[in-house]
Each structure stands twice: as structure tokens, then as C-alpha cells.
């Protein structure tokens, strides 16, 4: 009985801010009252018309998609290497190493980037590629963790040994066994990566150049203005994160399907 009440209370606690944001984004006027008064689409129209928000929207989307693609391209071979390392000590060390960025505050990474890339030898601060590089460092651990855990759960090594004994070559094993067997974990890993990248603020706020500020960075400005405008902009971020995550997930699944169908 108690556990049910705790669950309900926690869910309400989770949902309430989001519900308030939704309400506020359609409210005409919201001053010193519990709930806003009036109904309007004005705030969404204003956000949509704002050039800095439009730019930030596409910047966030590009950064998130590039980060996802890079995590897939780097993460899968890396996860495979960690999983197949025969020495358990090396494997444990590798795991600590790739989990390190989780413990590292993004702020620290940002300072490091600023120090290195504001120099005359590497004057790349403000470029979108640097932003993507930072997001990869921050997001890759989550992808690796998911995929390595799945490799262990499946016993991928035995599956590959079986395939090899049945006459399957290295590339065939990769396309027929590794990719399709791991498709679910790669999918959920990519969803996490995309959502994290879209919502990332600490690092992006310091490292992104003025012309490729990401959506959360620009969003902060909105809170100095009208409440309804800020709410609408936040709801858009929420939707953006959802859409980007699912599109990443679907494209990954499509890729896995294609590799399964080919023989």
C-alpha cells in the first residue's frame, strides 16, 4: 500500500513540471497566479519566427545526429575490442577508462577544450566540429556500457565461434551475427546518446561558437523574457529530444534490417 502511494507521488512529481510547462506555453498571461489565464498559440509562433532559435534548432539537430553516427562508428568496434580482450585485468581497466567521462563534469571537459583550442596552433574554438567532438566524449560511455553489457548477456563469443565453425567468414560473421544480434542494444544506446546530446548544456554553453549555439544554450536567454515564450521554447526542446531519439533509433534499425536481409 505504501509502495503504491510512493509510486504515485513520485510520478506526479515527475509529471508536474512538464504539465506546467505545457499549460504555460499555451497561456496568454501568467503573472502572480497559480495557473495562466487565456489561451494562445502566440508563443509558439514567436519561437518559430525567432532567427536565433531557428538556427539553434538546426544546430542541435546536426550535432545530435553527428554525435550518434560517430558513437555508432567508434563505439561498436570499441565495445567489441573491450569484450574480446582475453585478459580480465585489461578488460576491467578498459572499462574504468571508458566510464571515466561519466564521472567527469562537462565543465571540466569544456575548460580543457578552451585551453587547448583557443591557442594559435589549434584555433578551432567555435567550430561545430569541436562541439561534436566534445559531445562524443560525453555520450560514448553510455553507448559502450549498453552494448558491452548486451555482448556479455548474449554470449557473443560463443555465437561467433559457432558461426565460424559452420563456415562463416569474418565479414559474414559481422553482418550476419554481430550487427543483428546487437541491434536492440545499439538502438537503445543511440536513443540515450541522442537525448543526452540534445539536452547537453554545460559543455555546449562554453564551447559552442555564437553562430552554432545549441538549443539549450539559446533557451537560457528565453527565461529572461516572457514566461509563455520560455515555456513554449522548452516544450519544443522536449519534442526535439524525443523526435531525434526515435529517428536515430529507426535509422539504426533500418540499417540492421538491411544487413540481415543481404546474404
Partner 1 sequence: MSDTPSVRIANTSFSYPGGKAGIFDLSLDIAPGELVVCIGPSGCGKTTLLKLIAGFLPCASGHVLLDGEDVTGVAVRERQCGIVFQSYALFPHMRVWENVAYPLRVRDVPLAERRRRAEAMLEMVGLSGYGERLPAALSGGQQQRVALARALVFDPRVLLLDEPLSALDAATRLSMRDEIRRIQKQQNIASLLITHDQDEALSLADRIAILREGRLIQVAPPKEMYDKPADAFVAGFIGRANLLDGTVASPDTVDTPIGRIATPGHELPNGAAVRLLVRPEKIVPVTGDPASAPPGENHFAAKVIHDRFFGASREIELAVGEGVVKIDTATREDISCVHIPRDAVQFLPVT
Closest by CA to 82, choosing from 98, 104, 71, is 98
Closer CB to partner 1, 51 or 171, in the complex: 171
**CB contact at 8 A, 188 and 245:** no
- Residue (28 or 161) nearer to partner 1, CB: 161
The H-or-E segment that residue 38 falls in is strand 37-39
Q: Which is nearer to partner 1, 3 or 87 (CB)?
A: 87
- In the complex, the smallest distance separating the C-beta of residue 65 from partner 1, rounded to whole angstroms, is 26
CB atoms within 10 A of CB 113: 21
Which is closer to partner 1, CB of 51 or CB of 86?
A: 86
Q: Which residues contact 105 (CB under 8 A, 6 or more apart)?
A: 202
Residue 231 to residue 18: CA distance in whole angstroms: 10
State the residues that interact with partner 1 by CB under 8 A.
154-155, 158-159, 161-169, 172, 176-177, 180-181, 183, 260, 263
- Asked if 134 and 113 touch (Cβ cutoff 8 Å), the reply is yes
**What phi and psi, each to the nearest 5 degrees, are found at residue 204?**
-60, -40
Shortest reach from residue 151's CB to partner 1, in Å: 12
* Cα 205 to Cα 213: distance, rounded to the nearest angstrom: 7
In this complex, which beta carbon is closest to partner 1, that of residue 202 or of residue 259?
Answer: 259
Q: Closest Cα to residue 72, out of 146, 156, 158, 172?
A: 146
Q: How far is the CB of 90 from partner 1 (least distance, A)?
A: 14
Measured from the CB of residue 81, what is the shortest distance to partner 1 in angstroms?
19
In the bound state with partner 1, the residue whose beta carbon lies nearer, of 159 and 242, is 159
Q: What is the C-alpha to C-alpha distance for residues 137 and 133, in angstroms, rounded to an integer?
A: 7
Compute the least distance from the CB of residue 169 to partner 1, in Å.
Answer: 7
Minimal distance in Å, beta carbon 68 to partner 1?
22
Amino acid at each position: 500500500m505504501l509502495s503504491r502511494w510512493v509510486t504515485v507521488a513520485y510520478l506526479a512529481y515527475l509529471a508536474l513540471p512538464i504539465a506546467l510547462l505545457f499549460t504555460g506555453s499555451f497561456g496568454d498571461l501568467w503573472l502572480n497566479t497559480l495557473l495562466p489565464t487565456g489561451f494562445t498559440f502566440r508563443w509558439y509562433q514567436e519561437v518559430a519566427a525567432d532567427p536565433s532559435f531557428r538556427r539553434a534548432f538546426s544546430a542541435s539537430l546536426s550535432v545530435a545526429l553527428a554525435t550518434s553516427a560517430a558513437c555508432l562508428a567508434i563505439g561498436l568496434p570499441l565495445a567489441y575490442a573491450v569484450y574480446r580482450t582475453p585478459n580480465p585485468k585489461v578488460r576491467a581497466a578498459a572499462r574504468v577508462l571508458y566510464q571515466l567521462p561519466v564521472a567527469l563534469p562537462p565543465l571540466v571537459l569544456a575548460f580543457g577544450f578552451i585551453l587547448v583550442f583557443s591557442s594559435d596552433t589549434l584555433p578551432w574554438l567555435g567550430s561545430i566540429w569541436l562541439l561534436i567532438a566534445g559531445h562524443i566524449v560525453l555520450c560514448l560511455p553510455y553507448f559502450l556500457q549498453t552494448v558491452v553489457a548486451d555482448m556479455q548477456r548474449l554470449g557473443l563469443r560463443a555465437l561467433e565461434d559457432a558461426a565460424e565453425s559452420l563456415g562463416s567468414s569474418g565479414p559474414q560473421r559481422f553482418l550476419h551475427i554481430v550487427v543483428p544480434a546487437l541491434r536492440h542494444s545499439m538502438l537503445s544506446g543511440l536513443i540515450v546518446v541522442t537525448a543526452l546530446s540534445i539536452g547537453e548544456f554545460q559543455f555546449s554553453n562554453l564551447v559552442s561558437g555564437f553562430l552554432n549555439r545549441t538549443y539549450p544554450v539559446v533557451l537560457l536567454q528565453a527565461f529572461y523574457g516572457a514566461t509563455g515564450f520560455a515555456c513554449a521554447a522548452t516544450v519544443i526542446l522536449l519534442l526535439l529530444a524525443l523526435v531525434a531519439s526515435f529517428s536515430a533509433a529507426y535509422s539504426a534499425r533500418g540499417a540492421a534490417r538491411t544487413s540481415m536481409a543481404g546474404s
